[in-house]
Structure formats: C-alpha cells, structure tokens
Copies of this chain bind each other. A is one copy, B any other.
Amino acid sequence: MNSIRKVGFVIKPHAPGVGAILRDLVAFLEGRGVVCVLEDAAAVKLGARRGLAREKLPARTDLVVVLGGDGTLLSVAGPAAAAGVPVMGVNLGRLGFLTEVPVAEARRTLEELLTGETGIIGGRRFLQARRGRAVHHCLNDVVINKGALARMIQIAIRIDGREVAVLKGDGLVVSTPTGSTAYSLAAGGPIVQPHVPALVLSPICPHTLTFRPMVVAADSVIGLRLQTDGEEVYMSLDGQRGAELEEGDEVTVRTSPLELRLVSSPARGYFDVVKEKLGWAE
C-alpha cells in the first residue's frame, strides 16, 4: 500500500455520538499531517455546507473510514473496491460483521495503517450480477425474492451451464463468504470463512424441503431464470438496490474481479467476531 495521505470519512448521520467521534479522528489525522476528505453528511456534521458525494469519495482518497454499521459500509464498498482504496469500518453501536473496529481502537488502528502495517487488510471478493446489459457489483449478496403478496415463485438454477434444480419457494440468496453471515444466515445458510473461494446459494422458504443450502466454487457461473408469470418478483443487491424481474428474465451471477480491501481489527480474528455476534461465548 502506498502511504496514506488522504483519508475520506463516510458516516451514518443519525448514529448517537457520531459527530464527536468524527471530530476526534479528523483532529488526530490532521495532527499527523493527513488530509481529511468528508462526504456531504460528514461535512455538515462539522459545520460545513457540503462535502463530496459518497460514491465519489473513495477515488479521491487513500483510505475510507466508515463511522456507522454494516449498511453504511456496504453503501460505499463498491466505489472503494473500484478505486482499490481500503475501507476501515468503525462500529458506533454493536459490533458489525464488516465494521469490526470499535471506537476505542479506532486511533490505534489508524496509527498502524499510517505506519504501514498492512497485514490487517484482507481482501473480500465481490459478486457480479448481470441482467441483460446491466452489470451490478455487490459485496454480500444477490437476492431474488417474491413480493409480500405474491405466491410461490420458480427459479431455474444453472451452474456452469448445467441445470441443477428448479427452486420453488420465496426466493434465493446467492452470497459471497462475506455475505454468508448476513441474509443467507437468516435463510438457513452456513457460516463461510471470508477467504474460502466459494459462493453460497441459500433457498428462502423452499417448498421442496430437500432443497438445502449449497456451496459452490468461486469461479462458478450461476444462471438464474425466473419461471413465474404474473407475480411481483425483485432482485436486490446487498439489500440496498433493487429491480423488478419478469418471467423469463435471466440473472447471471459470478465472482466479480473487484475486491474490497477491508481493514480488520488487529485484536480480533474472524471467528471472534462471529462468536460475539452470535452469542456463542455465553
């Protein structure tokens, strides 16, 4: 990693205490000669009229600091990965699967990054979802889901060109290992270590009870074709963006060439986070 001279800040504006923490970290960095770049919401918190648009911020920095939860981090993950800029998530409330640096460790972790300690940055693969000409990238998951009043839908699943199954149910989650602890877990999927080269397919309320979560190789090409007519069906990406699907629509999901450079807490391993989030310690 080149040396860090510019740090961008992205925040969850209504999180309690976010203003004070932002001010503190900006002061800390500026005291070390680092330039701080703020997205709109962060700039307003510090009394400015405006800052940068969130999606444009990563390309103009050497590191993005997110003050908020996993949702806030997801919203800037794509531009950060595209720009090759690492992201450090500081959780303001509860520990997140992505925002794993607690406020109390934020200064120390920044310190390590400034002094070139890059061992704490891990790569997190993205998914690419192609539908017609549109290509989307997401860090956690692509979900095909029926509307709340729709009936059971059918999705024909092909893996590497070969038909695997026709899923009947509420829908399907295709997730990266990173996304395995998000929606996929609630749907019944396994917990997958971030660096396992794999994708997870977890059915949502499958009608066929033998249809179970599947783990396939990361270089698989997954073709999903909607076979249901006249019901509301949506594709959503990282639970943040969505599009309606119609009968016959095909979505092709595969591992993306993009990779998020995510800063881990130096004090925590992956399973420490899992253990704390899922209450295994108790």
Contact = CB atoms under 8 A, between A and B. Distances in A.
Contact of A196 (B170, B206, B215): B215
A272 B163 CA distance: 8
A193 B215 CA distance: 6
B213 A191 contact: yes
B280 A211 contact: yes
Q: Taking the full assembly, how many copies of this chain does it contain?
A: 4
Interface string A214-247: 1111001000000000001110100100100000
Interface stretch (A7-15, A38-46, A146-154): A146-154
Interface stretch (A57-65, A106-114, A130-138, A180-188): A180-188
Contacts of A191: 212-215
A236 B148 contact: yes
A209 B210 contact: yes
B148 A279 contact: no
Given A195-B217, A210-B209, A278-B210, A242 B149 contact: yes
B205 A183 contact: yes
A32 interface: no
A234 B171 CA distance: 17
26 contacts: A145-B148, A147-B147, A147-B148, A148-B233, A148-B236, A149-B234, A149-B236, A164-B271, A165-B271, A170-B186, A177-B215, A187-B205, A188-B188, A190-B190, A190-B212, A190-B213, A190-B214, A192-B215, A193-B215, A195-B217, A196-B216, A196-B217, A198-B198, A209-B210, A215-B215, A279-B279
